[in-house]
Structures are given as structure tokens and as C-alpha cells.
Amino acid sequence: MTPSNDSESGGSQTLERGLALLVELGRHPQGLTTSQLSAATGFHRSIAHRLLVSLHRTGFAARDDSGRYTVGPAVTGLLGGSVPSLRTVAEPVLHRLARRLDATASLVEAVGTAAVTTVVAEPPTDGPLFWYRKGSRDPLDHGSGGLAALASGPPRAAEPPRVQAIRETGYVITHSEVNIGAHGIAAPLPGWPVRAAINVVTSDPDLADRAVPHVLEAAAAIGTPGDHLG
């Protein structure tokens, strides 16, 4: 008799189903809807939906405004290749920026509906800092990092109105949108497989304006994947 549950089979049926969805997405770079994935894999639509929500939340699947899913940026990061990952490219740039501004600098990536801090650079200072932990999750539609990350990609129907203005200016400054008393300065990083941005957080209002050219310079230094081909 074929084992019917995870403990008896020594594996995870949920994991296997999730991987099956990823394999199917890899066969269709143009994307598939939940119903199409359900039909292709033979999973009930509710099961496919739950798995896709988790894959999207963790970055293993991407979803466009029409509801079509494609392979997400987390898969690209696992595969590696001749082009360095965004995090690898951004880390030394962020450390230089943090030292120059004496403020916390970070890389923010859009993962599902959250702005996730994936790289953090703290300055060598004993003064008061807004500390951001790697893995911190903030709303995408509030705060400099999330808004700039949204602006790094093409326009979307449901995005906040000010995102287009950020695309045009190349940066955004916010105050107390995520953390009370914090000034955020962020610049989009277009062209990468994930929507992302450089983000600087400070309690000094004067630094917010002075930081803009430095943040833009750092974003230009990170550039796009094509700038880092081996």
C-alpha cells in the first residue's frame, strides 16, 4: 500500500507539491494563473492557491497585476551564475555609504507585500542610530525603502500614486512613516530580478537632504546586472 502521509513516507507532501509548482512555472516563462497551474499539476485549486501564496511571500514565485505567476527572484539567487547577486554587489557600496553619512544604510527588497531588509551596513559611530535588523519587514506602501523598491519596477495598477514621482526623481525622502522620528532616504535599483532599493535611515533632518546625492551615487555604483558581467 502506498504511504499516504508525510510521516509514513519519510518526506513532505507539501514540499513536493510546492516544488512541482516551481517546476511548472519554470516551463512557462510567460507565467501561469492559479487555475492553469492547478490543471497542469493536478492539484486542487485551493491547494495550488495556498502554495502559491507561500511561494510568493518568500520570493520563490512572482505575481503580476493580472494574477499570473512566474519564477521569483529567490530562485535566481539560488542558481547563481556569471553575474553577481544584487546583495553581493550592494554590500560594499552600502558600507561605504554608511561610513560617509554616519547613518545606517541598507538594501531593501520587495518580497510579496513586504519590504524586507536583506543587507545592513552600520557606521562606525557611538552616536544614536536607527538600527535595522537584517530580515526586518515593513509595508511596501509606507516608508522610503518600500516605496523606492516599488519604483524600481514598471508601473503597476495598484501602486501608491507617489511611486511614479519617485521613478521620475530617482529618490524619495520620508519622515516617521515606519519609525517615529526617522527620516528615510531611498533610491530605486531598477534592472535587477527583484524590486529593490538603497535605503538610509537617520534621526538628523539636516542629513536627509544632504544624503540625496550620496544615495544616488551609491545607486549608480550598484547599477544593473549588465554592469557586472564577468
DSSP 75-92: HHHHH--SSPPHHHHHHH
Distances (CA, A) of 127 to 86, 105, 132, 136, 171: 30, 15, 15, 22, 26
Instruction: Choose which CATH entry (3.40.50.1860, 3.90.226.10, 3.60.10.10, 1.10.10.10) describes domain 6-79.
Output: 1.10.10.10
Q: What is the pLDDT of residue 3?
A: 41
Q: What is the pLDDT of residue 131?
A: 64
Q: What is the pLDDT along the chain (230 residues), one digit of tens a residue?
A: 344 444 455 678 899 999 999 888 887 777 889 999 998 889 999 999 999 999 998 888 888 777 888 888 777 666 555 567 889 999 999 999 999 999 999 999 988 788 999 999 988 876 556 666 788 888 888 899 999 999 998 888 778 889 999 999 999 999 988 888 889 999 999 988 788 999 999 888 888 889 999 999 999 999 987 777 65
DSSP code for 195: -
Instruction: Choose which CATH entry (3.40.190.100, 3.30.450.40, 3.40.630.10, 3.40.47.10) describes domain 86-225.
Output: 3.30.450.40
Handedness of CA 43, 47, 52, 54 (dihedral sign): negative
Grid coordinates in use for 226?
Answer: 549588465
147 phi and psi angles, rounded to 5 deg: -65, -40
Q: What is the pLDDT of residue 182?
A: 87
Q: What is the pLDDT of residue 219?
A: 97
Q: What is the pLDDT of residue 159?
A: 83
Q: What is the pLDDT of residue 4?
A: 42
Domain boundaries, the chain: 6-79, 86-225
Q: What is the pLDDT of residue 165?
A: 94
153 phi and psi angles, rounded to 5 deg: -110, 180
Q: What is the pLDDT of residue 191?
A: 86
| Chain-centroid distance, C-alpha 173 | 19
Distances (CA, A) of 38 to 16, 22, 48, 84, 105: 14, 12, 6, 34, 42
Integer-rounded Cα radius of gyration of the chain: 20
Q: What is the pLDDT of residue 58?
A: 87
pTM: 0.69
Grid coordinates in use for 122?
Answer: 552600520
Long-range pairs for 129-132: beta carbons < 8 A, 24 or more residues apart: 129/103, 129/104, 129/203, 130/103, 130/104, 130/179, 130/182, 130/201, 130/202, 130/203, 131/104, 132/104, 132/106, 132/201
Long-range pairs for 51-56: beta carbons < 8 A, 24 or more residues apart: 51/14, 51/17, 51/18, 51/21, 52/21, 54/18, 55/18, 55/21, 55/22, 56/112
Q: What is the pLDDT of residue 46?
A: 93
